[in-house]
Structure 1
Amino acid sequence: MLGIVLATLDGQIISTALPTVVGDLGGMDHFSWVVTVYLLAMSATTPIWGKTGDLYGRKGAYMSSIGLFLAGSVLCGLAQNMVQLITFRALQGLGAGGLMVGALSVLGVLVAPQDRGRVQSVVGVMLPVAFVGGPLLGGFITDYMNWRWTFYVNVPVGIVALVAVARGVKLHTERVKGRIDYLGALLLTVAVMALTLMATWAGNRYSWLSQPITGLGLVAVVSLAWFVRVERRAQEPVMPPGLFRSREFSLAQVLSFLAGAVMVSTINYLPQYMQFVQGASSTVSGMLILPMMLGMLTAQLTAGRLTDRGGLDRVMPISGSAVMVVGALVLLLLGTGTPVALASALTVVMGLGVGILMQSTLLTTLNNATHKDMGAASGTVTLTRTIGGSLGVAVLGAVQSGRMHETLVGRLGSGTEERLTAGGEFTPAVLKNMPPAVRDAAEAAVTSGLRGVVIGATFLSAVAFVTTWFIRAAPRAGSPLADGAAGGEGGGSDATYTDHSRTEGEDRPATPSLRATEQKQPGAGAHATFPREPSQYSPVPDAGAPDPG
């Protein structure tokens, strides 16, 4: 859990500190790269970390990613110029790529399918908490301490996480011969980098049809096509093609992409509306979207528990996407005259929809992956959500910029609009002292831009709603892992299990109900059940044996 806290919090905590960081180190031209290089490294290495865990041991891979992330955090805090900071942020991102996928893959092995919803609900809480808590914590640290502590704060949390994983996670890993699909990993990295750079630069530094953007698009398409070809032939593929033979798994990745795009876009552009139109400060604007975050928290906790009860594998994603559509339509009511309390309250519906869909998408992914591919599956769903967020912000940001430009030109004329936006005067603080006509034009422009974002989010939500109807419900039964850990004599949370993540033979689905019938085993507890065939989770007699994983 602490690894997930590190992964989700660090991506947000730097946002409010960046202006001070750039002012201290210099290099405003490289402002965006502090975030971009981190996102590039993290998203490109996420599936690679997942496959590394599948192949060489999930526990070791997870601890390595935490260590690399901590090293990058310390170096970022020690950076003396922007070049050093960007370089160390890349190192930090390399480690961050394994934090989320490492935690999810370990939980996917340790937790029974019928209990995953409850556990993943707690995991899902971390994301919305970080989106709100990160900027608030970053602002507090920057104002009352020093911006370098936005990086140093990761160190004590990371050390606790390392100790907890080393002592509390007991996975006995059977190592077999094999190696990472390096060509596939390289092609995937190139494709993700190209897509992320497109999302970062298009509509901002370059036009959408410029040579750099079209060139990046071509690189992404060629790399992805080559990647698919390589994965079909690789002995140990980064993304096992067999995963996508499951219709539910494939659809879950589409939904993860769409949910990421809607979530990240609304969270990024709603504070701007709160600041420009509602007159809120940066900190208060973050507090005004708390209802959305609370909606996500409530939905993720509830969705996981409801899914655990069975029969709702299909109902929950349909419900989540439907609520997401309603939430987007409700946000269209936001205008220049909307009371601030109402504007804040309207965001809760979107939070509920996104929370339900993201949680059910994660569960669908894990429940339709084999245990030996659990890390690759976790990496895939994390990657699709990250790419969805990046591309969603870029595409809808271009829509927002276009509508804002059109409104400002229509009200103020092209000359005034250019001086206002290019002269560093288009900020909430400066606009407060502008003539009423300029303030009104700015408020109308921001509102129009947000409406464009919401219209795009409505379309994406509608696509998600249609997609969910193609998901088939999959029944789940008891798991020997959870029952052995929770019940019976000598059970408990310290039980040790063998992770047969790469044994030869038939891939076994993560949903035990799809396998053979179960039989009772004496001495395993009143409710413990075990498959008639050899289980992928074989209890290790000596719980105190050293853990090679």
Structure 2
Amino acid sequence: MQPDPSLDPASTYTPATRLLVFTGLIMTMVMGALDQSIVSTALPTIVTDLGGLAHMSWVVTAFMLTSTIATPMYGKLSDMFGRRPLLAFSIGALLGASLLCGLAQGMWQLIVFRGLQGIGAGGLMTLSQTVIGDMVTPQQRGRYQGLFTGAFAVSSVAGPFLGGVLTSALSWRWVFLVNLPIGLLALGLIMFGLPAGRSEAEPQVDYPGAALLAVATAGFLLLFNSVGTALAWTSPLTVLLLAGSVAFFVLFIWQERRAPEPLISLGLLRIASFSVCVAATGIMSFAMLGSLVFLPLYYQLVLGQTPEVSGLMMLPQVGTMMVSSVVGGYVSSRTQRYTLLLAMGVGIEFSALTLIAFCAHHGAPALFFLLSLGCLGVGMGIGMPNATVIIQNSVPPDMLGIATAMMAFIRSLGGSLGVALSGGVMALTLQGRLYALPEKIDVAAFLEKGMAAVQGLSPAMHLQVREAYKAAISASLSVSSSFMLLAFLMIVGLMTRGRRA
């Protein structure tokens, strides 16, 4: 199945409107990326003001839950009703919820409002990437998606820093209120330049499918984010949550096969380039988040770095990702070798993760980690935009929204599963190493308190525990490297299949 060039909507945009809309989309995407990370540095101050320390993690979890659940719905609805009304709703919902978050008077109020904020944020990235697919020709998508990836990299690293500045200089409430001027300007630019939405004569929204997918997704995300911490891997509640999530997902697939207008088009999975790249994107997210989440822990517990320095040590990955995404997008548009560039990017990511796992296992100096992270950023900058381009170029224009949403949805689930599985490997390895130490210690306290427990040890015992952490974190990094190899082999297989065809 190939897109029909006669249906290409890119011809409806003039250079001036394209510039206006692209500027608004960049601002929208930056706002969405910031909202994922800007809250982290403000959380201690929020707890001091509102209380509710035991429920603090739900400020992040509620946002992640609702944004992930909403993502595929935005994709399908934008294919049915057009991008403009869905973008207006997405930005409007996020701005309204941001105002409520800024006015919250209690922790549970803030958690509920963060959930509402996630409903709006769920459409920002997906719809922005979809509009780019509409707005430019397939040959130019690599260049624009590369610019998006670069802006996303900068926004992600700027979030915690900006959150700290706003909290210190003004108030934690401005972490949310800062969205209002950015969002209103972005909304104005997009509404002015984006064509009016279209609507099917008798749209048939798959409400049962949406409900089943929401329950299944919520179950999986709660499981991935609780197992190994709030839930034991072998507890009855873990098994029950897994079985319930799988059951609802099976019911969702059954519903999609019979629905007149399915929320997710299962027929797209028969397109090899689409299905392979969506799966590879999920595995790449699994590997990336499963490794990057635990690297700062390694820097602090094993290398003895401060939290500030451990954060700065992640900058090489962000800097090289920003540069390589822009350069790689330009090369992609010039050469049209999307699959080859994707294979190169994922291959570099696999090599970099393998180097990082090797450095962690052997306790290499910080410089080697910085060089490896720089290589990792190069691979991410080349791979991510080309995966998006391949997925968008492989589907008809009237399915661009759901195709992009399916990619974003699988990427989000893959990342959550990666953190859970890598964390589980780390915890099991650490537990085994700690129990094997000649001097008996309170293993449960170490697994619960982390750095606080390490700091109270004698020098000799501290060295042994540090070696245990080194082995545990390097084991989790090896898992991420193995999954990145799987993604690389899938892309190489797709490239080989294309040459034979």
TM-score (norm 1): 0.81
SS class of match (2:260): coil
CA contact (8 A) 1:321 1:465 kept: yes
SS class of match (1:238): coil
1:208-244 alpha-carbon deviations (Å, 9 max, x no partner): 2222221222122222222222212222211112221
SS class of match (1:50): helix
97, 119, 127: which one aligns with 1:72:
97
SS class of match (1:469): helix
Cα separation, partners in 2 of 1:413 and 1:60, compared to 1, 3 Å? farther
- In 2, Cα distance between equivalents of 1:337 and 1:93: 39
- In 2, Cα distance between equivalents of 1:208 and 1:419: 18
Equivalent residue for 2:383? Answer: 357
Structure 1 unaligned residues grouped into runs of 5+:
476-549
Larger radius of gyration: 1
- In 2, Cα distance between equivalents of 1:338 and 1:61: 49
CA contact (8 A) 1:320 1:353 kept: yes
Equivalent residue for 1:292? Answer: 317
Equivalent residue for 1:490? Answer: none
In the TM superposition, what is the alpha-carbon distance from 1:309 to its structure 2 partner?
A: 2.5
Equivalent residue for 1:450? Answer: 473
Cα separation, partners in 2 of 1:419 and 1:270, compared to 1, 3 Å? closer
In the TM superposition, what is the alpha-carbon distance from 1:64 to its structure 2 partner?
A: 0.6
1:92-142 alpha-carbon deviations (Å, 9 max, x no partner): 011111111111121111111000000000111133223321122222333
332, 353, 367: which one aligns with 2:393:
367
- In 2, Cα distance between equivalents of 1:419 and 1:134: 32
In the TM superposition, what is the alpha-carbon distance from 1:377 to its structure 2 partner?
A: 1.0
1:424-447 alpha-carbon deviations (Å, 9 max, x no partner): 4x336x755643234324432332
- In 2, Cα distance between equivalents of 1:340 and 1:377: 40
Cα separation, partners in 2 of 1:414 and 1:374, compared to 1, 3 Å? farther
1:375-419 alpha-carbon deviations (Å, 9 max, x no partner): 111111111111111110011011112222233333374533334
Correspondence list, 1:343-422, <5 A: 343-411=369-437, 413-422=439-448
Cα separation, partners in 2 of 1:334 and 1:256, compared to 1, 3 Å? same
Which residue type is aligned with residue 42 of structure 1?
S
The share of aligned pairs that are identical, in percent, is 32
1:225-267 alpha-carbon deviations (Å, 9 max, x no partner): 2222221222221111222121111111111101111222222
Cα separation, partners in 2 of 1:210 and 1:71, compared to 1, 3 Å? same
Cα separation, partners in 2 of 1:473 and 1:181, compared to 1, 3 Å? farther
131, 142, 155: which one aligns with 1:117:
142
Structure 2 unaligned residues grouped into runs of 5+:
1-25
Which residue type is aligned with residue 294 of structure 1?
G
In the TM superposition, what is the alpha-carbon distance from 1:178 to its structure 2 partner?
A: 0.8
1:359-384 alpha-carbon deviations (Å, 9 max, x no partner): 22111111112111111111111111
SS class of match (1:235): coil
CA contact (8 A) 1:128 1:293 kept: yes
1:147-201 alpha-carbon deviations (Å, 9 max, x no partner): 2221112121111111111112234535432132111111111111111011011
TM-score (norm 2): 0.89
- In 2, Cα distance between equivalents of 1:22 and 1:181: 40
Equivalent residue for 1:257? Answer: 282
320, 327, 344: which one aligns with 1:302:
327
- In 2, Cα distance between equivalents of 1:211 and 1:431: 32
311, 316, 323: which one aligns with 2:341:
316
Equivalent residue for 1:187? Answer: 212
Correspondence list, 1:161-310, <5 A: 161-171=186-196, 173=198, 175-310=200-335
- In 2, Cα distance between equivalents of 1:414 and 1:56: 64
| Larger helix fraction of residues | 2
Which residue type is aligned with residue 471 of structure 1?
L
- In 2, Cα distance between equivalents of 1:119 and 1:234: 35
- In 2, Cα distance between equivalents of 1:26 and 1:412: 42
CA contact (8 A) 1:327 1:347 kept: yes
SS class of match (2:41): coil
- In 1, Cα distance between equivalents of 2:429 and 2:164: 30
Cα separation, partners in 2 of 1:94 and 1:281, compared to 1, 3 Å? same
Equivalent residue for 1:427? Answer: 451
SS class of match (1:470): helix
Cα separation, partners in 2 of 1:33 and 1:113, compared to 1, 3 Å? same
Correspondence list, 1:41-60, <5 A: 41-60=66-85
CA contact (8 A) 1:65 1:97 kept: yes
- In 1, Cα distance between equivalents of 2:389 and 2:117: 28
- In 1, Cα distance between equivalents of 2:419 and 2:40: 15
In the TM superposition, what is the alpha-carbon distance from 1:278 to its structure 2 partner?
A: 2.9
